[in-house]
Structure 1
């Protein structure tokens, strides 16, 4: 990556979006990895990581200089006014280059070095093991077996090397089914419930209007026969009209006349382009200077973001209910790496309490998102590539999880801060965890050897992510959320967290969390005081200097209490014998 031409610009103004009179003066520093604004008055610093910049826009000239607006993937929006237009253009050009590297080797993770010596580069990379995760679900077994057909990623380049499929599926059935599925993404197991009902995932069939594949039909029959149900459910997460349009390109969906004992359902989740536009409108609504609640609510409705969140959750609940009733479910969308990842992982979270723990949630991201080929680099815009591939698919998954956390505040081991950390670092490129579009690409890039893992960093800050209200025993069961429209909430903590204005009143669940954390802190403080402060004079001492105990005159308790050496001498009238 070429070095930037302009390292610093003086006398830059940082604007407050809601109060034009509230302007901060300072210097703007263009470093190799961050943009840093240092205020003149108090040296307060505002850091913006280049990899988290979504867009840079030069606004019309003003009498005070050239405005430059920066929007981030963390939903921060900052406007700087640079005195000279030439300096503004140089900063603008530098940010465009630094925020959108062309080569994957220029990503931040390949240069980042942790300042924490307690976190080695290897930390976190080996916490998840695909075979161990399926063994937790008691797979392999008589119905499901492990196959190594994709060990070199030849059967399907976007699938993991290890696949779990029906034990009765032969090699010819697997290979034939893969050829009949878009991108070779044949039906495979992703979750087995304790009642033996399975969630399987794949991509759309290459069926066109009338094409069929006997191997693929046999494959679905093998899936059906892994449990005792007389039918299975095939969930196409797309709107039906979209799936029908794909038939014209030789793709489409399963013809129920060719597949025995399946019940087909369309879920109506929109595609990546609709979701990208929805998020764009939501950001526009959040950045509006009109401070009327009616205008905000109207903008929120026009954006349709909450409607899409509800659609994803509705589909996930449908799958969870089918699994709970003992019926196998096969899920796909178009290519099986966006909407399929969303609903398979969320349905598993509803079904399995393990995935509501910190380790379990990280495991389901590894399994259903990273190993099964969600295109993180494309969807999050890590590199300068096709902007039409960018879409907030993973952001929606995190938002959906937060919605569940609001309805079941004691059912999750983690808190909002945990979700925000994962969301932010999925796009920061500081860690190699979310780099690349598949397990194969990450193996080729050798991210485990060359970069730090996000999970290693988070393991070292675990106390920040613990939900104080978590009660595993009370929620060791399937969750059935109420998905009425009024229960789908706008996540202020994600979309408005960088705003300095007046915020709405905290919800009771948020208040309880804060109160519980504060109470825990007070309890720890009391323990510290009981151990280290002198009960006579009140001063605080180290353990070595407060090793005397004596009953205090006039104290209600006649028990011996810890006191310092001088107080001990006054009370007992003795001198220290220590030299």
Structure 2
């Protein structure tokens, strides 16, 4: 209350005015200086629109604090350039050369929301005139969240930048509008140390067939895609498939034709195919399918097992719906929202079903591995198009059985073979062009990377690449610079890369592949891609190479004698007493007749038998699926949330300590070997460690306390707030409230007496 006067001798009244405006808000009311700046543009990058001043909010709380700067929209990205002088971070070794921490590639934008007072509305199309929000909230596909305030911007500039961002990020566009067609950088030669087999030539396929000792044949008649539009230029089929079969398959656009994926050292092989439409019930289609199954069976022991993945795995719509629910827990606008979601967080994640889909894919891949490894039978997996879940399962099977694909160069070659040359629909599945057909969208490739990460975190010494590599690869899918993940088919890729542009003088598309990592990172940053715990294969002395070996010398997995069963030479015939009758049912074999009983029990026995074998990281690796074995990929999903980071802990600290221990063990064994005693009593695994060189210093593990999200975060991005969950805050509040304490006095007394 204000005083009316000061009586004689009385003290002057104290002012009673209280300000409810924070100093930050007082300062922000001042009109900031208007000075527009542009980012360092890439070759071929053009600025569409810009606005200044724009306030970029911080993510720490609801106080609406931030920094002023210029918001720019180009044909490559949405970029924010701060007006404040940024101090150079000399400790940052992991920096992308194409875009910075305040840049959003246009293909990386997932959703845009408009802020109207305290409400948030998703922007789905052009708005009415004069209905522009005061805030723009951008959710990215790499799970970053950006908030821009338009309050301090001139109305004309605010409308212009809002229209520009919405139009170039969300509106449907043609493929020629993607920045890759404007990028004018010189195409650098790929680094030889991580040479990737591109599978775009006859030699690449012949070398792969020779490496795996396959007995199939290479098809080269599809170079111009006149034979099959949906199949790549070069592919491999069973040796008994004839030219007449190709002509029949041409009537079905290549569907039903078994495409070779990989050969086991025992002689059996893995194939994949697209199923014929359900209405194809005529005699021609049945005879065609019968002949294709016979061709697969004749590859080895006249045996084959088939599996329709559409019957036993979730549909693409279910995958998309599950991931859409899952990612919402990581698209956090501010720290308050993060703590509010703390209650039942893990159970909520589980209810989305995303982790269960990962578990199902790993389970299915392990069942295929069991058929190849234990039963020595050919396997034919199929789905509607043969380009989605078939790619996931076939790639996982090869990772589990073939150690070459667990190296960095081998893994990149696997992606090239099964996904790029195989014709996965990256353009539609990843929504690169923002088409409105939601049924075509599904994060299938991300699902595969999730499964690979589960194998990596369970069997880290078996993989040469790190989880940072997988995280960067998942981000690179949405960078519109590379041709690798840009197209829907091999035919579209070849046509768009070689065809002349009718509108410009640029000529054919000349952009790098994503495997040329020097475009994004320098040599020091690329060292983060290497797993420091990887166990190199020991070099065998020349004197031991002359020892007798069995016929198949490529030791990709455990000796088949561990699971030896009588070969089922008549399996295919016994299963197909009446092949025409069998073809009328959806499932072509009795492999998965009891999905709730036999397969899980059989897979468990197979896993237990594998665990009893000697440790061999260059043999077969199988995933654990029970209990909490399937975990959350924390680096990818929590790296942008400061409150979730563990200072000095997490996987980085664990990897650092394991690396030190592994180095000490190697040094001790090396000393024992030098002294000539004790080494003969060590087992095979210790001998392999002793023969390896000492672990070199690794930039992934520098000294000091690091964040669990390293190398994607730095100290200046950390939040120093007390990390107290919401539930604990409520408990502390109840303990400090006298009224609540009085009501719960009896309860506390009873609890103490029980203790």
Structure 2 residue matching 1:450: 3-state secondary structure: coil
Listed one character per residue, the Cα deviations across residues 226-277 of structure 1 (whole Å, up to 9, x for unaligned) are 112x5311111123xxxxxxxxxxxxxxxxxxxxxxxxxxxx2212211111
Say whether 1:366 aligns with 2:416.
yes
Which residues of structure 2 form unaligned runs of 5+? 1-43, 88-100, 120-132, 499-507, 538-615, 664-694, 700-755
Residue equivalent to 1:339:
389
Say whether 1:452 aligns with 2:512.
yes
Q: Are residues 480 and 347 of structure 1, via their aligned partners in 2, closer, same or farther at CA, if it must alter by over 3 Å?
A: same
Shift in Å, 1:505: 7.6
Contact 2:638-2:644 at 8 Å conserved across structures:
no
Which residues of structure 1 form unaligned runs of 5+? 240-267, 525-579
Q: 1:352 aligns with which of 397, 402, 417?
A: 402
Q: 2:621 aligns with which of 459, 467, 479?
A: 479
Alignment of 1:427-442 (within 5 A): 427-442=478-493
Alignment of 1:59-458 (within 5 A): 59-61=115-117, 66-83=134-151, 87-100=157-170, 102-114=173-185, 120=188, 127-129=197-199, 131-138=203-210, 143-180=215-252, 184=255, 186-208=257-279, 210-211=281-282, 212-228=285-301, 230-239=302-311, 268-287=312-331, 289=337, 291=339, 293-325=342-374, 326-385=376-435, 386-446=437-497, 450-457=510-517
Q: Are residues 126 and 401 of structure 1, via their aligned partners in 2, closer, same or farther at CA, if it must alter by over 3 Å?
A: closer
Q: Are residues 492 and 445 of structure 1, via their aligned partners in 2, closer, same or farther at CA, if it must alter by over 3 Å?
A: same
Distance 1:11 1:24 in 2: 10
Contact 1:109-1:452 at 8 Å conserved across structures:
no
Q: Are residues 95 and 236 of structure 1, via their aligned partners in 2, closer, same or farther at CA, if it must alter by over 3 Å?
A: same
Say whether 1:35 aligns with 2:91.
no
Contact 1:395-1:423 at 8 Å conserved across structures:
yes
Structure 1 residue matching 2:328: 3-state secondary structure: helix
Q: Are residues 509 and 14 of structure 1, via their aligned partners in 2, closer, same or farther at CA, if it must alter by over 3 Å?
A: closer
Q: Are residues 495 and 126 of structure 1, via their aligned partners in 2, closer, same or farther at CA, if it must alter by over 3 Å?
A: closer
Distance 1:110 1:514 in 2: 42
Contact 1:174-1:219 at 8 Å conserved across structures:
no
Shift in Å, 1:310: 0.8
Distance 2:113 2:188 in 1: 38
Listed one character per residue, the Cα deviations across residues 408-428 of structure 1 (whole Å, up to 9, x for unaligned) are 011000001111221111121
Listed one character per residue, the Cα deviations across residues 481-501 of structure 1 (whole Å, up to 9, x for unaligned) are 111142111111111211222
Contact 2:256-2:289 at 8 Å conserved across structures:
no
Which is worse superposed, 82-91 or 398-407?
A: 82-91
Superposed CA RMSD in Å reads 3.2
Shift in Å, 1:343: 0.6
Contact 2:426-2:485 at 8 Å conserved across structures:
yes
Say whether 1:465 aligns with 2:509.
no
Contact 2:205-2:218 at 8 Å conserved across structures:
no
Residue equivalent to 1:12:
55
Which is worse superposed, 270-279 or 447-456?
A: 447-456
Q: Are residues 91 and 298 of structure 1, via their aligned partners in 2, closer, same or farther at CA, if it must alter by over 3 Å?
A: farther
Contact 2:232-2:490 at 8 Å conserved across structures:
yes
Q: Are residues 75 and 19 of structure 1, via their aligned partners in 2, closer, same or farther at CA, if it must alter by over 3 Å?
A: same
Distance 1:506 1:343 in 2: 37
Contact 2:255-2:275 at 8 Å conserved across structures:
no
Q: Are residues 206 and 388 of structure 1, via their aligned partners in 2, closer, same or farther at CA, if it must alter by over 3 Å?
A: closer
Q: 1:499 aligns with which of 596, 616, 641?
A: 641
Shift in Å, 1:47: 1.6
Contact 2:54-2:148 at 8 Å conserved across structures:
no
Q: Are residues 321 and 22 of structure 1, via their aligned partners in 2, closer, same or farther at CA, if it must alter by over 3 Å?
A: farther
Contact 1:109-1:451 at 8 Å conserved across structures:
yes
TM-score (norm 1): 0.77
Distance 2:371 2:218 in 1: 25
Structure 1 residue matching 2:148: 3-state secondary structure: strand
Distance 2:386 2:236 in 1: 16
Q: Are residues 147 and 209 of structure 1, via their aligned partners in 2, closer, same or farther at CA, if it must alter by over 3 Å?
A: closer
Shift in Å, 1:345: 0.6
Distance 1:13 1:62 in 2: 17
Shift in Å, 1:302: 2.3
Which is worse superposed, 441-450 or 230-239?
A: 441-450
Distance 2:636 2:244 in 1: 48
Q: Are residues 186 and 80 of structure 1, via their aligned partners in 2, closer, same or farther at CA, if it must alter by over 3 Å?
A: same
Structure 1 residue matching 2:365: 3-state secondary structure: helix
Q: 2:110 aligns with which of 54, 79, 100?
A: 54
Distance 1:150 1:348 in 2: 26
Shift in Å, 1:467: 0.7
- Aligned pair count reads 490
Contact 2:269-2:378 at 8 Å conserved across structures:
yes
Contact 2:51-2:157 at 8 Å conserved across structures:
no
Structure 1 residue matching 2:460: 3-state secondary structure: coil
Shift in Å, 1:36: 2.2
TM-score (norm 2): 0.60
Listed one character per residue, the Cα deviations across residues 424-471 of structure 1 (whole Å, up to 9, x for unaligned) are 111212211111111111111117851111112259644221111101
Distance 2:329 2:432 in 1: 25
Q: Are residues 399 and 191 of structure 1, via their aligned partners in 2, closer, same or farther at CA, if it must alter by over 3 Å?
A: same
Distance 2:189 2:403 in 1: 30
Distance 2:454 2:446 in 1: 12
Distance 1:523 1:324 in 2: 36
Structure 2 residue matching 1:501: 3-state secondary structure: helix
